[in-house]
Chain A
Amino acid sequence: MFYKQSLSRKLFNVTNVIVLTLITLLGILPFIHLLSVSLSSNVAASAGEVSLWPVGFTLDAYHFLSKKAEFIRSFVISLERVVLGTAINMLLVFLTAYPLSKTNEQFRFRTVYVWFFALTMFFGGGLIPSYIVVKETGLMNSIWALVLPGALNVWNAVMMLNFFRGIPREMEEAATIDGASHLSVLWRIYLPISLPSIATIGLFTVVGHWNSWFDGILYMNSPEKYPLQTYLSTLVTAINVKSITIENMSALQNLSERTLRTAQIFLGALPIMVVYPFLQKYFVKGITVGSVKE
């Protein structure tokens, strides 16, 4: 123990633990609630009786889901998207960040290129021009429409660039003297050193791809091609009508399937929850330790 257990320190510790516990609960309770509702009977859920423990325990919702083709289909599409999208994003981030991390002497007009990329962080075409570009390039209705727009995340590239700049130049020079080309410097020196920031950016990318839903609605022409979050969003959207007609009665029926909705939302959030703890250690390091020790 380096610290004397003074009163003020004890007080600080207690407050600290309480505050952090509260914040943790704020994050975790909604998930526990979701899980409990999904494991409860439909009547109890519709009556709003379930809070943090299932009422009338049943696995019906999950049993039904395991046979529900739409859910499984969009789950697979989401997985495809994450794998493909993350691979492309990361590759482009490396290939952009490496040359831009060089000095102006090594790479002429470097600043011009940096501005070229940076500009897209501040100005975008907006929804309709983006839609038209995707439509005219024939990407509509294919998984590429979800992956290619935004294939290069400039913000991530800038983070990577700054990380690369922290790497001592001597290492690159040593490699070059030994006959390494730029590509092998990137692959064999820079990337292995940058594991923390790769994990950080990788996690951002994976979560980003998994959670994005709006582009699914925009670019997919039929619901069979929706990724998971787009599909989920169609389940939870509240009905917004002035009065109910026979036509939208079925939306009301949907509202009463609370257990089913929560089960799907919970399963949708599960993969990311599982991945998070494993990447957490890199995540913290990647942000705080921005450079290599010399």
Chain B
Amino acid sequence: MKRVTTSVALISTLLATMLLAACSNNKETAGESSPANTATASSSQSAEPVSNDPLGKYPEPVTVTQVLGFRPPEEADALQGVTPETNGYIKDLKEMLNIELKYKWTVPSDQFDQKFNLAIASGDLPDMMMVDYNTFVKFKEQGILADLSEAYQNYASPTLRKIIESDGGFALKAMTSDNKLLGLASSGEGGVQVLWIRKDWLDNLGLQAPTSIEELEKVADAFVKNDPDKNGKNDTYGLALNKNFAAGWGFDAKGFFQSSGSYPFAWLKGADGKLIPGEIQPETKAALARLQSWYQSGILEKEFALKDEDKESEDLVAGKVGISFGEWWYPNWPLNLNKDKDPKADWIQLELPSLNGNPGKTLISRGIGAIMVVKKDFEHPEAAIKMANFFQELQKPKYVDKNSPDFKGPKTGYNYSWYQPRYYSGFKDIFLAVNEALDANKEKLELPEDFIGSGEAQTWFDAAKKYQANPKDNTAWGMYYSRVAKDGGIAVAEKIKEDKSKFVYNEYYGPPTPTQVEKGASLNKLTNETFTKIIMGSAQISEFDKYVEDWKKLGGDDITREVNEWYDKNAVK
């Protein structure tokens, strides 16, 4: 008898546990539908703004919650022990605007997406978020975003407006739907492709810098066969390439394809005004055929298909390869390490080579930067705009000059990279201002009070000074040559952007279309596999025609249709 009672007791406990679990689930769904969170409770109704002052202080504290993905500060002299919560920006934000910024969580940038998706799924969102375009569209469709039009009109400071509207209203239009401004973002243009080449190797072999694909082929061939590093060993190859050669972030063949007039994974306007996918065009076939012949003649490394970007960078550092297509930032990494290893190494950058007399046109992808959105039920959407103004305020020259008594930088516990939202304008003004100061042999960078981007300018100027003082400092060289030098990374990129005959736009910047979500991954895999096989010679170039058929059949045609529908409806033209 006793045993029976214990059993019954035990079983009922088990049942109770299950029920309890079920109950807490119910509670959760209830919590989700009314996301009144405790953090915002302290922002009271009485805290009405007194004026439309962009930096007006609230009479009562207003609490704003955010989430943050962050990296440790890059600056070597950053104050130790500062965390995002104790960042100087947050302290000043409270003092100047009476806004209390609270982080629901912070996570290293790499894991941000994962954690943020989890937060979205569990309905646990902060008042104010920085999101990408895809998430923005998702939120827009769910209708959880606040309208910022009024707040932007009334509160945005002149500096902020100048940055946001520097693209002629492209970003503002992209963020507006039904006359409501649902997010705030600046638009940017992706990197320009250039050709990096080792000048000391060219000189060793008595060669000229190549301006066409044909010349490049000759130079690369000489780099393979004629021992360009003069070490008596046959240990070099022609062109750096990694397995993500059509869509990687460096040491790839994007620049090569573009020189050949081929734009895989991009959408260009065709002759009939419709957008066409770059990977299935005849130019791509021709480019692949040439890569195949380069693979056979040893210009490409036999094992390129096994290396990712990180691995391929080792060959550049080790001095095994002296030509690479890529972007403006190479000197910053890994070319500086190559110079550490081999002091004779000397890299120059060239514009994309021409083919059959047609200049190489680089692809520029227009993109919306990080988008600031505010949740609909947040009572102070204007606080978000004020916070954006606040960041620009703290970028004024007197705050970013290390010798100024008002200096607010990493050294004094102000880490800008943890603060959101921050907007930047292009590099051009900074480039000009820094070079002007250097040309005039100034010891100190003097900028007008309303200069936009003075923090960045100060960093560039300091690096340039450091490089001038010690030309052997390869880290300083990396900063100097990628950003400041007149024949360096940004200078060449800006020059290309000024000449309309040297670039084309990627016309599609929308979210993945339904078919892309469903079939995009397998189509990309098909593309990569086919291209790799063709380059390595295990498939004939004629395979390309079959690939085009397959690509269209397996969803490519649907994607093309959807992309064009989006383009007709949403694109800012």
Contacts and interface: CB of A to CB of B under 8 A. Distances in A.
Q: Do A and B bind each other?
A: yes
Interface of A: 42-43, 46-49, 108-109, 112-113, 116, 127-129, 131-133, 135-137, 217-218, 221-224, 233-234, 237-239, 241-256
A43 B122 CA distance: 45
B314 A48 contact: yes
Given A131-B118, A243-B190, A223 B28 contact: no
A49 B11 contact: no
- Chain A contact residues: over half helix, strand or loop, or mixed? helix
A20 to B, nearest CB: 28
A243 B31 CA distance: 40
B7 A108 contact: yes
Interface of B: 3-4, 7, 10-11, 14, 21, 24-25, 27-28, 31, 71-72, 74, 83-85, 103-111, 114-115, 118, 121-122, 124, 188, 190-191, 247, 249-250, 308, 310-311, 313-315, 317-319, 327, 329, 332-334, 337, 340-341, 365, 417, 424, 456
A108 B6 CA distance: 9
B191 A234 contact: no
Among A234, A244, A247, which residue has the most Cβ atoms of chain B within 10 A? A244
Nearest to B340: A43
A224 B107 CA distance: 10
Contacts of B310: 238, 255
Contacts of A249: 74, 329, 332-333
**Closest 5 pairs (CB-CB, A-B):** A48-B314, A47-B318, A221-B105, A237-B110, A234-B108
A128 B118 contact: yes
B83 A135 contact: no
Contacts of B190: 242-243
Nearest to B479: A249
B127 to A, nearest CB: 17
10 contacts: A46-B341, A47-B337, A48-B311, A48-B315, A109-B11, A131-B118, A217-B111, A233-B111, A238-B310, A252-B333
A244 B191 contact: yes
B3 A108 contact: yes
Given A217-B107, A218-B115, A249-B329, A224 B4 contact: no
A109 B7 contact: yes
A160 B313 CA distance: 51
Contacts of B107: 217, 221-223
A243 B362 CA distance: 14
A241 B118 CA distance: 21
A224 B329 CA distance: 32
A247 B417 contact: yes
B304 to A, nearest CB: 14
A153 B337 CA distance: 49
B122 to A, nearest CB: 5
A125 B71 CA distance: 32
A116 B327 contact: no
